[in-house]
Amino acid sequence: MHITNDIRYIGVNDHETDLFEGQYIVPNGMAYNSYLILDEKTAVMDTVDRNFRDEWLEKLESALEGGTPDYLVVQHMEPDHSANITAFMEKYPDAVVAASAKAFDMMKNFFGTDYADRRIIVKENDTLELGKHTLTFVTAPMVHWPEVIVTYDAADKVLFSADGFGKFGALDAEEDWACEARRYYFGIVGKYGAQVQALLRKAAKLDIQKICPLHGPVLTEDLGYYIGLYDTWSSYGVESEGVVIAYASVYGNTKAAAELLAEKLSEKGCEKVVLTDLARSDMAEAVEDAFRYGKLVLASTTYNGDVFPFMREFINHLTERNFCNRTVAFIENGSWAPTAARVMNKMLENSKNLTFAETTVQLRSSLSDESRMQIEALAEELCR
């Protein structure tokens, strides 16, 4: 695939893995992207997952059309991108690897060598001349590893964005970009919003016409849409108005309360209501929704004086990703000593700029006239 006259796509599609990074469900597979820049000097941008070594090397050799690469640029050392550095360096003994100092430290850890005699250590605003293409390196620490760099090609106005602007899904899968990019972002990068904001400020100074990420499709049109979403996500802004009701229920009574609240919200005109069973839903998708919408209702039974384990896990996922700037409400259930609302509130005490609903719904085992009235009041409050 030609990205431009001089830039070739040499990545691979993975339809074998069921869990990316051992935890994220990828029903449509995963893409590991790699690129080749052809010029007086040739540069390869990152490698791919180890399971695709032979396929990737064959694609690279074909794209070189009898030539040999001069440089391997390593932007990110996570193994799904760096696993074939050794294979590349053995196959092309005259090639030089360009990466950040921290990346070379990681190469030593991963491969037992830091290529001291075949390397270029790059830092902020360093350049690599290929001919008509000049690569400028921009440091992106903690997006989402400390060694990350991104690379700007001034000739074709292309940003090689490492894991930025990536998404789940192989390139031969037809699916909405935003849905799987959002799930990817909040699952993997979401904790590092401040660092992404810093990188976006650097990127704003560049004339970018194409974005080449390490996962997902090359972005070539309406870049303002993608950059705008990344700005919203990384600043923890509300992307869409709506209410997410996330519940953890044992015998169905807390579920019934959550369903009744969803019904009341819809009756009162809330356009978007998302109902999520935390025991059965994809946790990453539940996290994605919590960051997408402006209001979140947490509904849990009391369990061992605490909250149900799926709710605890969910809130931990939120807080470790800097959940903030939202309205939060509680539904608690307890047959003899309800404590879930207090526990959930305590878990969120370090989250910034949360507005808590005045109404807390309390069930004593099952719905009653009193708890139904509380649900009515909470729906009214959330729909104002």
Please choose, from the candidates 148, 221, 230, 225, the residue with its C-alpha nearest in 3D space to the C-alpha of residue 181.
Answer: 230
- What is the C-alpha separation between 187 and 20, in angstroms, rounded? 11
Q: Within 13 A of 46's CA, how many CA atoms are on the CB side?
A: 30
- What is the C-alpha separation between 374 and 379, in angstroms, rounded? 9
pLDDT of residue 1: 84
Task: Decide: 214 and 166 in contact? Cβ < 8 Å.
Answer: yes
Report pLDDT digits (tens) over 127-164: 999 999 999 999 999 999 999 999 999 999 999 999 99
pLDDT of residue 270: 87
DSSP 155: T
Task: Decide: 302 and 339 in contact? Cβ < 8 Å.
Answer: yes
Domains in the chain (CATH in brackets) are 7-234 (3.60.15.10), 240-382 (3.40.50.360)
Contacts of 42 (CB under 8 A, 6+ apart): 36, 64, 67, 68, 69, 70, 71, 130
pLDDT of residue 384: 87
Task: Decide: 276 and 286 in contact? Cβ < 8 Å.
Answer: yes
Measured CA distances, 2 to 6, 63, 352 (Å): 8, 10, 45
Give the Cβ contact number of residue 34 at 10 Å. 25
Per residue of the chain (384 residues), what is the pLDDT tens digit?
899 999 999 999 999 999 999 999 999 999 999 999 999 999 999 999 999 999 999 999 999 999 999 999 999 999 999 999 999 999 999 999 999 999 999 999 999 999 999 999 999 999 999 999 999 999 999 999 999 999 999 999 999 999 999 999 999 998 999 999 999 999 999 999 999 999 999 999 999 999 999 999 999 999 999 999 999 999 999 999 999 999 999 999 999 999 999 999 999 998 899 999 999 999 999 999 999 999 999 999 999 999 999 999 999 999 999 999 999 999 999 999 999 999 999 999 999 999 999 999 999 999 999 999 999 999 999 998
The DSSP code sequence of 239-302 is -EEEEEEEEE-SSSHHHHHHHHHHHHHHHTT-S-EEEEETTTS-HHHHHHHHHHEEEEEEEEEE
- C-alpha triplet 227, 233, 237: angle, nearest 5°: 115
DSSP lists the bridge partners of residue 212 as 160
